[in-house]
């Protein structure tokens, strides 16, 4: 089995008004599994709430506190209240999604066409890029709603001829935001597979690499969430 087969995922293609729309089945499975896991953990954590938290409630409360601190470090006290649940959901989803592809892989083969049925939803470029673009659109919308004049003027500061630079900046932000997450998780999964091909020599290396990949997944979830908050605060800050 070679690497190219592992990256071959089943696709569903529809034609909507003449436009082909393709869904990646593997990513859909991964997203569903992650959503179910997130809901399940959140439900278990809030099922029997105690004043003195223990077990799973303790862990989830730590994550909530952590993401709250993250939002508070970027936005002022009044606006940050609206973003607490968003930041927590984003961070928790990514935290689980990034680890999904490290566990195992299911590959089926029929008529010399193989299909991989399991991978991180963030190891496909479309997922992270879509998330990054949605965050950017929301940030721009919030900026325009707060003060259209200030939002427009921001593009011509400090000098009017800096407009092209601002435009490039606004396009590059969501691109690097999404691709940073995708590339980290994708490269991690591919290297796990490459090390698996090295037979018994690869076992200790794989243990080290999977440990590092778990670490990278956590760091990337954190970086994605904090950058989402930074981009929103750039559009919302009054002293800008």
Partner 1 sequence: MDLGVIAGAILMACAAIGGGIGNGLVFVRYLEGIARQPELRGLLFGQTFIGIALVEALPIIAVAFGIMKLLGIL
Site for partner 1 in 208-227 (CB under 8 A): 219-220, 222-223, 226
180 binds partner 1 (CB under 8 A): yes
**Number of residues located near partner 1, criterion CB under 8 A:** 17
Contact 116, 7 (CB under 8 A): yes
Q: What angle in degrees, to the nearest 10, is found between the helix axes of 56-72 and 202-236?
A: 50
Of the candidate residues 1, 3, 168, 198, the single one contacting partner 1 (CB under 8 A):
3
Site for partner 1 in 5-24 (CB under 8 A): 7
Q: Residue 114 belongs to what H/E stretch?
A: strand 113-116
Of the candidate residues 80, 184, 206, 213, the single one contacting partner 1 (CB under 8 A):
184
Least distance in Å: CB of 204 to partner 1? Answer: 22
Show the tokens assigned to 115.
């299909």
- Decide whether 65 or 81 has the Cβ nearer to partner 1: 65
Residue 13 pairs in a beta bridge with: 22
Contact 11, 22 (CB under 8 A): yes
Q: Residue 161 burial (CB < 10 Å; 0-12/13-18/19+)? A: exposed
- The whole-angstrom separation of Cα 215 and Cα 178 is 19
Q: Residue 49 burial (CB < 10 Å; 0-12/13-18/19+)? A: exposed
- Decide whether 74 or 220 has the Cβ nearer to partner 1: 220
176 binds partner 1 (CB under 8 A): yes
Least distance in Å: CB of 186 to partner 1? Answer: 5
41 binds partner 1 (CB under 8 A): no
183 binds partner 1 (CB under 8 A): yes
187 binds partner 1 (CB under 8 A): yes
Three-state secondary structure call for residue 46: helix
Least distance in Å: CB of 44 to partner 1? Answer: 28
83 binds partner 1 (CB under 8 A): no
Interacting residues of 164 by C-beta distance below 8 A, sequence separation 6+? none
Question: Interface with partner 1 by CB under 8 A: which residues?
Answer: 3-4, 7, 176, 179-180, 182-184, 186-187, 190, 219-220, 222-223, 226
């Amino acid at each position: 089995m070679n690497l190219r087969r592992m990256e071959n995922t089943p696709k569903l293609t529809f034609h909507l008004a003449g436009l082909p729309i393709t869904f990646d089945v593997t990513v859909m499975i991964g997203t569903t599994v992650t959503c179910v896991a997130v809901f399940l953990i959140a439900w278990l954590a809030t099922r029997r709430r105690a004043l003195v938290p223990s077990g799973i409630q303790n862990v989830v409360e730590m994550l909530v506190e952590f993401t709250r601190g993250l939002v508070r470090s970027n936005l002022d006290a009044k606006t940050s209240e609206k973003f607490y649940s968003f930041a927590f959901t984003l961070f928790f989803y990514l935290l689980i999604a990034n680890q999904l592809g490290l566990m195992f892989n299911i590959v089926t083969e029929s008529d010399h066409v193989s299909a991989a049925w399991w991978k991180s939803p963030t190891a496909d470029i479309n997922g992270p890029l879509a998330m990054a673009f949605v965050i950017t659109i929301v940030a721009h919308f919030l900026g325009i709603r707060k003060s259209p004049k200030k939002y427009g003027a921001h593009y011509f500061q400090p000098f009017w001829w800096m407009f092209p630079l601002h435009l490039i900046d606004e396009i590059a932000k969501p691109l690097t935001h999404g691709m940073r997450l995708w590339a980290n998780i994708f490269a991690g999964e591919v290297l796990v597979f490459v090390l698996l091909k090295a037979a018994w020599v690869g076992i200790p290396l794989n243990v080290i690499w999977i440990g590092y990949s778990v670490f990278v997944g956590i760091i990337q979830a954190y970086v994605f969430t904090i950058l989402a908050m930074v981009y929103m605060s750039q559009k919302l800050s009054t002293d800008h």
